[in-house]
Amino acid sequence: MKIFESTEALEAALGTEVAVSEWVTITQDRVNQFAEATDDPQWIHVDVDRAKASSPFGGTIAHGYLTLSLLPKFLESSIELRYCRMSINYGANKIRFPSPMRTGGRMRGRFTLLSLERLPDCVQNTWRYTAEQEGADKPVCVAEVVLRQYF
C-alpha cells in the first residue's frame, strides 16, 4: 500500500506509476451477479456452455464495465490518501477495453498519476487505470479517470 500524508506528497508522484493492486480472480459468480445488477445477461458473459461452443474466446468473459467497476476496489486497496476525508468519482476522459477478461482468470489494477489540480475545497486528480489480466499481452481495461479528494 502506498500512503500519502499530504497533497504535496501526492503531487511529487505526478507522471509516475504510483501503485499496483493485488490480483483478484474474476469468477463466473461475480460475472453473473454483475449481469443481474446491470440487466446485461448477454450469453458471452453468462452462458458457460454456449460460450465454450460458440465464443471466439473459448468460454465466458467478464463485462468490460465490470473490469472498470473494480477500479475503486483496486485503488482503495493500494493507495491511501490520509489528507483526504472523502473521495468521489468525477468522471472519465477515456475508456477502452483492448482485450477480453476471461472468466476464471486473475486481474489487477495499475495506477499512474497523470495530473493534479488544486481546487478551493478539494484536489482533482486524473489517473490512468490499467486493468491487466495475468498472462495476457494486452490490458483488459485502460481508462483515464478523474477523482476528487475533499479535505
Chain segment 70-111, per-residue pLDDT in tens? 999 999 999 999 999 999 999 999 999 999 999 999 999 999
Burial environment of residue 120 by CB neighbours within 10 A (0 to 12, 13 to 18, 19 or more): exposed
Instruction: Give the residue, 151 or 128, on which the prediction is more confident.
Output: 128
Closest CA to 61 of 140, 150, 145: 140
CA–CA distance from 53 to each of 47, 67, 99, 106 (Å)?
Answer: 10, 24, 20, 22
Give every CB contact of residue 24 below 8 A, 6+ residues apart in sequence: 70, 73, 74, 106, 107, 108
For the chain, what is the domain count?
Answer: 1
Domain of residue 86 covers 2-150
Chain segment 23-66, per-residue pLDDT in tens? 999 999 999 999 999 999 999 999 999 999 999 999 999 999 99
pLDDT the model gives residue 36? 98
C-alpha–C-alpha distance, residues 77 and 132, integer Å:
16
For residue 96, the domain's CATH number is: 3.10.129.10
